Amino acid sequence: MDVSLIQSFINLIAVLLLALGIKGLSKVRSAKEANRLAAFAMFLSIIGLLTYYLGKPGEGITQQSWLWIIIGTFVGSLFGAILAKRVPMTSMPETVALFNGCGGMSSLLVAIGVIFFQRNETFIQDISILISIFVGSITFSGSIIAMAKLQGWLSTPSWTQSKIRHLINISIAIISLVAFLNLIQSVNTSTIWLLVISSTVLGIGVTLPIGGADMPVVISLLNSYSGIAAAAAGFVVGSQLLIVAGAMVGAAGLILTQVMCKGMNRSLVSVLFGGTLSSQSKKLDSGGEYTNITSCSVEECALTLEAANKVIIVPGYGLAVAQAQHTLREVAKILEQNDIDVSYAIHPVAGRMPGHMNVLLAEADVPYEQLKEMDNINPDFPATDVVLVLGANDVVNPQAKSDQNSPLYGMPVLDVQEARTVFVIKRGMSAGYSGIKNDLFDLPNTSMVFGDAKKVLSELMTELKELGVGAK
Amino acid sequence: MDFAQAFWVLLLGSLLGLELIGKVPPTLHTPLMSGANAVSGITMLAALTLIITAKNNLPLLIIGSISLGFALFNVVGGFVVTDRMLAMFNRKPSKKLK
């Protein structure tokens, strides 16, 4: 039997499994199996490729090739597995960014290898190589910058918030374009490096000015790019499987990017070219000073909680930063033992990524049924005695509904102000990521409890125990 | 590979990707992104092809090997980290509190 037929058959199964895997990842029940199915499909595709080269007469794999295959496989897999096992759950966004950047780098290297040593000088292959270099470089440098910013290794330089950056980025883009067009006509080494360098710099220039809150959108977009780079690499080496898988990831990444933008009520254009929200809202001057802040002690908060029947907890990025999810779970347990109904309101963009809070709370063993999505829980707020806002800010800002001039206007928010009492646990009066005043803090039924989320929660736990809550 | 055919594959693959991910609960966005990201490491096949067809060209073998390493870093790391995230959702709800 013809080996290329066998390979096509294996590839067909791999594509089917990959598609089923990505589909399965969209349902909570099947997600875990689906992820393994996709991993298996990837493994299968390697088997298919090796079968082809081992079985085809006159091809074969030399010993030297095996050596380099084993080295690459061993080193890459080992580091990937170690990092994936060790990284804390709170650093998920930057980990995904790092992995993504490496995928882009891989496509870039394939393109470079082929253009220097295996070029067959067809027009389509040349174009595919150039696209692979361009997109691969941007994916790599952009992802690394995104990771560094999320890790706090890099801040947003102030010059990147001025108009100059558009000028710089446009000039770099023009240099890339010129290099690209030149290379289509004739390939030469120095122009290839010019393309590599200019597109790398372009990736940095485009990602650097983007603020932390928008970073997940950028990562999702870069994820889509790495799919495109993979598809381009598929054209380079003539692999249909690569083209299908790359195109699937590219398209899926775009949809996810769109969903994220919608959740924040921002357009992709404003995320990419608008600079950070805070620099826009300074100009808008959207609120002024707080006039009616009520601050209260942990003890008062504990007393109110003790008397409550229904409590809703609103987690945000502050909870993730303080690593307070376990302490929060303990407090919730105490309340539940006192027959208080506890649930968690999850805003789609709470934290730094959709689903960030779910992952974080799941880590602390919070039962899945207690996590409620925004649309399901909003009607519950009027019947709620106490809302605890933990490190969330913009997602509970009533301005988004009431103030047409607010930059947040139109963003769906949690209607926490409808509850009888709201406690906002926060380190200080600083604004949220949008840099906008939060009208919630001024409302008469809102009290601020200042302090680090973890510290406040453990004090709260002590107070509750002293009150005899949960002792039964 | 015939290029007209390759473009059809590209088109159908893109349409499939748009359909597959249409309705996803926000809970799963991060794991889905991470899983899809692992799939984009499929460039490992291109890297493998490069190494196999390099014969005795040492620079090409090295480039291919590094590329394979980066791709597998993406693939293995991506799937493992997704698995870790999903393990948390699948965990049995803790025993009912008295």
Other Cβ atoms closer than 10 A to A190 = 8
Q: Work out how many CB contacts closer than 8 A connect A with B.
A: 390
Q: Which A residues 365-424 touch B at CB under 8 Å?
A: 365, 367-369, 371, 373
Residue B63 lies inside a defined structural domain of this protein: yes
Best interface-test mutation with A: which of B16, B37, B66, B95 has the largest number of A CBs within 10 A?
Answer: B37
Q: Which of A126, A394, A415, A439 is catalytic?
A: A394
Better pLDDT: A35 or A374: A35
pLDDT in tens, A201-255: 999 998 888 876 677 788 889 999 999 999 999 999 988 899 999 999 999 888 8
Residue B84 lies inside a defined structural domain of this protein: yes
Assess whether A380 carries a catalytic annotation: no
Indicate whether A256 pLDDT > 50.
yes
Distance CA B31, CA A192 (A): 36
Residue B35 lies inside a defined structural domain of this protein: yes
pLDDT level of residue A281 (50, 70, 90 thresholds): very low
Strands A446-450 and A421-426: parallel
Number of domains in chain B: 1
pLDDT level of residue B78 (50, 70, 90 thresholds): very high
Residues in A touching B69 (Cβ below 8 Å): 71-73, 75-76
* DSSP track, A115-164: HHH-----HHHHHHHHHHHHHHHHHHHHHHHHHHHHHTSS---GGGGSTH
pLDDT in tens, A139-176: 999 999 999 888 878 777 776 667 777 888 889 999 99
Q: What is the pLDDT of residue A80?
A: 94
Residue B94 lies inside a defined structural domain of this protein: no
pLDDT in tens, A167-215: 888 899 999 999 999 888 888 889 999 999 999 999 999 888 887 667 7
Q: What is the pLDDT of residue A376?
A: 85
Residue B81 lies inside a defined structural domain of this protein: yes
Cβ contact, residue pair A252, B80, below 8 Å: no
Domain residue limits at B61 = 30-89
- Coil, strand or helix at A413: coil
Q: Exposed e or buried b for every residue in A455-468, given b needs 16+ CB within 10 A?
A: ebbbbbbebbeebe
Take residue A409 and report the two structure tokens written for it: 């206007």
Residue in chain B lying closest to A102 (CA): B70
Residue B22 lies inside a defined structural domain of this protein: no
Residue B24 lies inside a defined structural domain of this protein: no
Distance CA B25, CA A14 (A): 26
Residue B95 lies inside a defined structural domain of this protein: no
pTM here? Answer: 0.79
Q: What is the pLDDT of residue A108?
A: 95
Distance CA B66, CA A228 (A): 20
Beta strands in A243-324 (DSSP E): 310-315
